[in-house]
Amino acid sequence: MSSFKGLFKAGQTVYFYHPQDSWIVGVIESVDPNNKKGAYLVKPNPSLNSDPISNENPLLLDEDLLFPYSDDLQKLDHNDLLAMSELHEVTLLTCLRNRFKKDVIYTMIGGVLAVAMNPFKWTIPYVQDDKMDLYINQSKTVMPHAWSIADNAYRIMTETKQNQSILISGESGAGKTEGCKTVIKYLSKLSCSITNDEKIRERASKIALKIQECSPILESFGNAKTQRNDNSSRFGKFIIMQFDKDGVILGAFMYNYLLEKSRVISQSTGERGYHIFYQLLAGCDAKKKQELFLTKPEDYACINGGKCFKVDGVDDAKEFQEVVKAMNIVGLSQEEQDSIFRIVAAVLNLQNLKFKPKGDASEIENRTVLNNASSLLKLEAASLEKALTSMYVTAGKDLILKGLSPAKACDARDAFSKALYDATFNWIIRKINQNLDASKDHKVDNFIGLLDIYGFEAFQKNSFEQLCINYANEALQGVYNNYTFKRDVEECKQEGIDATAVTFNDNVECIELIQKGVVNSITDCCKSNSTDFDFLDNIKKLYFKKSKFFDASPLKKEEFILKHYAGDVAYDVNGWIEKNKDTLNNDLFKLTKTSKCSFISALLEDNGSAKDTVAESFRKQLNVLLSTINSTRPHYIRCIKPHPAKKPNMFSTTEVMNQLRSSGVLETVKIRREGYSVRMPFDQFYHRFKVIHLQSSSRKDCKTIDEMKKACEEIIAQVGFDKVKAQIGNTKVFMRHYAYSDLEVIRGQKLIQYATIIQSSLRSLKSKRELTHLKNLKRQEEERIYYEKHKEEIERKRREEEERMRIERERIEREEAERKRLEEIKRQEEERIAREKREREELIMREQIKLNKLKEIQMKKIEELKRIEAEKEERERIKRELAHFENGKTLAEEPTSVRIWRVDDGKIVGFSLSEARKDLLYRIRTDQLYTLEECKILIKEVVRVMKNDAERDFKNLLFLSKFRTEVLYPKPIVSNYIPESHGLDGFFDSPEIKKLIYGKVVIKAIDPSNTKESILVAKEKLKLLVLNINKNIVKLIDHALIQRKERLLIIATILEELETSSIKKYLHPNELLVVMQKIKQQQHQQ
């Protein structure tokens, strides 16, 4: 038998796994070379352990339960645990402890999992809300945080449009609820910050506030003080935060799981019922208390079992006001709030009911309490008493009313209270969803789901509730294992590593055992009226010694054991059938339907005879949850309670290790260790193990990555590792943990070997140096003796050499001075030639500029002549137009019609305002009026001409005004030169003309029964109407001409300003000059 050669030696300090104290530091007392299983005898070293040790006796341990101790481990600090060269339980635990001591409570494991240590203090600077902007702005200096996980999930969602989920787990008191609120607050602020639209941001902020205000309500009705946690969530929840295509928050929807209904009626010592009971009793005023028949907490049986009515640092009255405020914000009406508080008060009073025997049945002792409870529920007191103390049972085809014993009546009372409270809690969830769910009114493009659920539980006595909780955790761990393993394999593929040899312990069989074995079996037992022990016998027959995940102890007849990923748990089956049925007396259900309060009468849901058992219902909920999570990209926050004392700055190695195991963090380590757990970049691997490489042919020190990669390949080949033990990736060396240990042993051996060689070399080098030193001393002495003997000859030769060197130095200096003189002459000549060339070019340039100026002057003169010629032509045209204007004026006095326009296809040809005016005056005087149809055509043409004139004047005026203001001098001019009506403001005086423009003039038909005289009157009225229309057209034209004249006067004024200024030469002749001359002539003639 060959002797065992291990990694460790006697006297060596190591970490070792202690059954009670987890990983602690000890010293190896002895090594048994013939027994590999228990080769090491290790004794704890109290001086090197921060926690007290339960047992200091030596232990015989296998090598797998040891880990090398070094002072460097006490400095271990990584933001991401996967950045460590070797991922081991010891390194993980040490790193978390070192960071916790520095108040660094978040540590990443890869990009999707964060370990969050509950500090039990929220004064740590980097977790304050004012630091949130650093994460939103993606500062590179930020520490790991729950915000980091939330930020990563949000940005992946907006970039890839893939739904995300964040799964927050941990034991009671680990900080899950606070972690969930932290993530919600961050996502709310981040999603509101991405839009610049103030209305969208305001709407999103209101929605975000509503989502955040759900927390006080849910905590009030679903949280309670326990021995482990002062604010323990007694239910699980999955919140879906809904976002639009841009990532702006739209709303939310939530699911709740496994409310602990038993806490409604009783609690353990040192614990409390749900917060709302104490908040309602402390926060109501005297009048409200009287209405709800409330007194003080000590008076109610269902909340005084724990004998704990106050919590340090908690003001129940203030908390109640916060709950009411939150209800108002979320959208619960005052009537709904009153109904909810009535039910809470009713539960308190119901649980005070006492029963006494009455023959074979029972009756209620305290009638006042009965009246109070029935009044709060708006029920008849007699009906409530009857439903609690009796029930209908089936006897053949008949129903018989059977009285209940006091114990059975108490059970009915408890079931009724639990059902009312549970239904109220579910109603609150539905109401919140109704008010926050955006899918009814908006398109929800993506969501981020937040899961806050119980962590894995293993107590001294574990019942049906623990099975449901651990079933959920087992299933979620399966999702996590699968996702983590896939990511691990994906990294291997990216590095070019063959991952076919990488496996991990799958827990699918354990999940199937619970889902199809335990749940199906207990459901069948409930339907067949079997007992708890029938159920236990069934599952033992199915799985005992047939499944590696199932076991049972022959000494404990009431238990079975499931081997979960986090450890073995023994379950006590007493009461499981009743807990799984969770039935309510049908008489009590029917009783609630008779309540005069509509809220209460509709509260309990009728599931009929096909109601699922608790286990069935939870399995369906869990399958939906898992399906949703599997459709998303998951992220994880594992919350850890560092010490059971719930005080800051306290760290228990055992406590933390147990939670790391139960939360699946150690399973992550296990997956990595079963794969290539050691992953070292080429440079790090080379510099650590190059001592092995020194024997190879290539002894040069590697500088580049390619050289280091080649050296790494040579080292792996040199030690004889196959692909199962180690592989070379694109940037890293991948090794199994045992291969890494072997490599460390080889490295240690090489270091010892080379240390011997180095020591021998150093001794040889020292001897050589001493010999060289003696030779130098001898040589120096011989030189001194020779110098003394030939001193004069040596001095003479030295002087001769110095003289020769002086003569040579002077010669070189003369030659250098001559060279510099010649170079200076050459430089000056080159500068003269360049200067003369530059002067010639400048002369040519000046002559060219003069020539260009002469050309420019000549062109300006030509332009001036053209302008003068244009002005001359323009003046000639003005004279011709003025002559024409004078002729028009003379014609206006002629007594005959001057109509020179005609109607062609409904359009007027050859029309002008002045001619139309003359023609109308002539026709009015001679009683040759235009007909109604002609008036319509004429009016439309007048309006068209007026608008055209006004628009042209406007255009000219705007041009001149702008030119005058910007070019001549910046001074405001008279505003509102031309009314916006374009001269039409006097046009609407006549309703008849309005009718012509906007519709036809309606002439009523003459009644045949009328007399001839009435027909003549109608004709006269029509003629008068036509006359008035002709006159109004004249007025319209007059008004238009007057406004036209006013506009032209303004234009002429501006033109005069321009004409008298030095800027006149820049004006081009145009129609405005003609207008100016016309106006001047008119003014002169007047």
Q: Which of 455, 478, 664, 983 is catalytic?
A: 455
233 is catalytic: yes
Q: Which of 22, 94, 158, 172 is catalytic?
A: 172
If we measure between CA atoms, which residue out of 117, 132, 95 comes closest to residue 178? 117
Q: What angle do CA 102, 107, 108 make, to 5 degrees?
A: 160
**Contact predicate 14/62, CB 8 Å:** no
**Contact predicate 288/327, CB 8 Å:** no
220 is catalytic: no
Residue 172 annotated as lining a ligand binding site: yes
**Which pair of tokens denotes residue 695?**
């024997």
The SS3 of residue 884 is helix
Residue 653 annotated as lining a ligand binding site: no
Cα 768–chain centre separation: 71
The SS3 of residue 391 is strand
**Which pair of tokens denotes residue 729?**
């990736």
Residue 170 annotated as lining a ligand binding site: yes
Cα(58)–Cα(43) distance, rounded to whole angstroms? 4
232 is catalytic: yes
383 is catalytic: no
Residue 174 annotated as lining a ligand binding site: yes
Buried b / exposed e across 411-438, counting CB within 10 Å, b at 16+? ebbbbbbbbbbbbbbebbbebbbeebbb
DSSP 8-class letter at 301:
T
**Contact predicate 208/188, CB 8 Å:** yes
**Contact predicate 387/361, CB 8 Å:** no
Cα(664)–Cα(636) distance, rounded to whole angstroms? 11
- Output the CA–CA distances (angstroms, integers) from residue 1025 to 996, 1006, 1012, in the order listed: 12, 17, 20
3 is catalytic: no
| Residues in the chain, total | 1086
If we measure between CA atoms, which residue out of 254, 301, 261, 296 comes closest to residue 278? 296
897 is catalytic: no
- Output the CA–CA distances (angstroms, integers) from residue 190 to 133, 154, 251, 577, in the order listed: 9, 9, 14, 48
- Alpha-carbon dihedral angle through residues 129, 135, 139, 145, given to the nearest 10 degrees: 90
455 is catalytic: yes
**Contact predicate 126/141, CB 8 Å:** no
Q: Which of 191, 233, 473, 521 is catalytic?
A: 233
Neighbours of 739 (CB within 10 A): 20
Question: Which amino acid makes up residue 902?
Answer: R
Q: Which of 89, 94, 163, 173 is catalytic?
A: 173
Neighbours of 622 (CB within 10 A): 21
The SS3 of residue 38 is coil
Q: Which of 158, 177, 585, 653 is catalytic?
A: 177
Helices (H), 720-790: 737-789
Sequence-distant (≥ 6) Cβ neighbours of residue 594 within 8 angstroms: 379, 380, 383, 601
Residue 173 annotated as lining a ligand binding site: yes
- Output the CA–CA distances (angstroms, integers) from residue 898 to 388, 891, 893, 930, in the order listed: 113, 8, 10, 14
If we measure between CA atoms, which residue out of 1034, 1079, 1040 comes closest to residue 1056? 1079
Cα(375)–Cα(369) distance, rounded to whole angstroms? 10
Q: Cβ-count burial of 552 within 10 angstroms (0-12 exposed, 13-18 middle, 19+ buried)?
A: middle
Q: Which of 182, 188, 232, 677 is catalytic?
A: 232
**Contact predicate 274/343, CB 8 Å:** no
Q: Which of 226, 229, 481, 1030 is catalytic?
A: 229
Long-range contacts of the stretch 902-907 (C-beta < 8 A, 24+): 903/934, 903/937, 906/937
The SS3 of residue 734 is strand
DSSP 8-class letter at 274:
B
**Contact predicate 591/387, CB 8 Å:** yes
172 is catalytic: yes
Residue 171 annotated as lining a ligand binding site: yes
**Contact predicate 176/642, CB 8 Å:** no
Cα(510)–Cα(671) distance, rounded to whole angstroms? 17
**Contact predicate 234/222, CB 8 Å:** yes
Helices (H), 544-641: 576-581, 586-592, 598-601, 614-630
The annotated binding site for ATP is made up of: 170-177
Catalytic residues: 172-173, 177, 229, 232-233, 455, 457
The annotated binding site is made up of: 170-177
